[in-house]
Structure 1
């Protein structure tokens, strides 16, 4: 008999409009007692139980220094495979809606403002942001699903922060919960706590989000019907189903926070592992043109995605390969 997490949704009040630069925190240990309820599901035992679970950073852990545009040699093949959707989907999810840029001489650009530098010029990037939801949108999905990718692309384009509940195959917690809430195990499944709206069907979700939080226009690359789904699916082939099947893990009391965006292959590799371990995570979307790039820059003195914040241990870190190693060491059941 499986155990499914009883969700009273995670408190996620995270004002992002007034950033402050924070000192890097020393990792701490958090001890929790997870609560569960039984269901008649035939899934394997849930990762939560009534026993005490301790979360702490791996022994002698030290967050790595960010290395811009660097790929660790042993990860080059994985990065190449994760980049395939970027080309097949025509960079959908790389830019925020209404993206534009201009070149400003370096000496005329504010020194504390984030921007790329090209040949003595700073690249000033802007976008058109629609109405902002007060609470993060909640989406039940998994990385290896082309329909789910379409929805992840639109939330990146709309620059929306999303609380993801991973639903990999055989996942004992959120896949049964989605079925309980919506009546069937179909993904993606979206819940908007700001309006009370919940729905299945990726195209319906996309239409709802652009109407509510955008300008009402569905981007061309997300409005091509079967061609959209086909290219999204083909882009996943190189990763051979990664991010689709559950790996036993300890379920943390608080969701991870991941600064990321759908078009980045480095972010994709991290999400694959987070989804397989069924770890709830708040994605702070920061595609090109997002004002949240400046917020992360003010917070850390650097911008690079992905950036992980783990409120369960106090760890904050850049570098996708090291983030993956940290997540596995902290949450995977050996």
Structure 2
């Protein structure tokens, strides 16, 4: 399938998310240690948790558990007693949870200092939206493919509803590559203007969200996704280039 068609299908998936997973409202308490989420990109229930994490501006390590995966699926069964996803582990409190609704409620109470917003509470509508977002992507981000395991987790600057970052996260899942997700949710109106248009309009763009500021300092511009591979020293923008890199470096 052509890359342009993949992007088009990913855009449809983003639209089905009904506005969730784009903006960030921030959190009250910052975790001292990074949250751990055992999940798979194509799972609608995992998507609900990732949407909440973007809204809360909470970074997390994604441990991909695609169907047929042999790296992290068995670990979840040993830790929690069953292979069910998503599965959250919070090393700060010792909390471990299955069930997306329970995880979302925990995250807002523990780190948001507030109840979960209504758009996350209405479970039937929320789940329906997540299921609709999965349909355009078919089986992407669900099934395992052979790969070499990296020594250190990769780093991805992303936000949940980005159609471009989604393609990269799908490939990370399929290759079972653990990744630190650095949230880049939008928190001001200038963030909604695409980088080429900002440049064309000569906008004096100054990011305010923490990871966007860090990305600007690191790379000189802001675009999502942005990959850092500490195993090879590689750093790069552009989803297609990132996917090609992952295949060259880790796919078997």
Fold match by TM threshold 0.5: yes
SS at the partner of 2:61? strand
Q: How does 1:28-43 map to 2 (within 5 A)?
A: none
Secondary structure at the residue paired with 1:284?
Answer: strand
* Correspondence for 1:90: 18
Higher strand share: 1
Q: TM-score, normalised by structure 1?
A: 0.67
Matched, 1:282 2:180: yes
Provide, for residues 260-310 of structure 1, a one-character-per-residue CA deviation record: whole Å limited to 9, x for no partner.
010100000000000000001100011102321111101111111100000
Runs of 5+ unmatched residues, structure 2:
188-208
Of 285, 292, 303 in structure 1, the residue corresponding to residue 211 of structure 2 is 292
Q: Distance in 2 between matches of 1:321 and 1:172?
A: 26
Q: Deviations over 1:48-94 (max 9, x none)?
A: xxxxxxxxxxxxxxxxxxxxxxxxxx422111111223222221010
Rg larger in 1 or in 2? Answer: 1
- Deviations, residues 85-140 of structure 1 (Å, cap 9, x unaligned): 3222221010001xxxxxxxxxxxxxxxxxxxxxxxxxxxxxx4321001110010
Q: Deviations over 1:170-189 (max 9, x none)?
A: 00110111111100011000
Counterpart-to-counterpart distance in 2, 1:286 and 1:323: 17
Matched residue count:
230
Provide the residue aligned with 1:173 in structure 2.
71
Deviation at 1:215, TM superposition (A): 3.1
Between Structure 1 and Structure 2, the one with more helix by share is 2
Match of 2:230?
Answer: 311
Give the corresponding residue for 1:14: none
Residue 218 of structure 1, CA deviation: 1.2
Q: What TM-score do you get using the length of structure 2 for normalisation?
A: 0.89
Quote how far apart the aligned CAs of 1:232 are: 0.5
Q: Distance in 2 between matches of 1:321 and 1:220?
A: 35
Give RMSD over aligned pairs.
1.0
Task: After TM superposition, list the pairs within 5 Å mapping 1:37-76 onto structure 2.
Answer: 74-76=2-4
Q: Is 1:198 paired with 2:126?
A: no
Contact map agreement 1:161 1:283 (CA 8 A) in 2: yes
Q: Does 1:267 align with 2:195?
A: no
CA distance in 2, matches of 1:303, 1:130: 25
Moved over 4 A (4+): none
Residues 89, 221 of structure 1: 8 Å contact kept: no
Q: Indicate conservation of the 8 Å contact 1:258/1:284, yes or no.
A: yes
Q: How many Å apart are 1:220 and its aligned residue?
A: 2.3
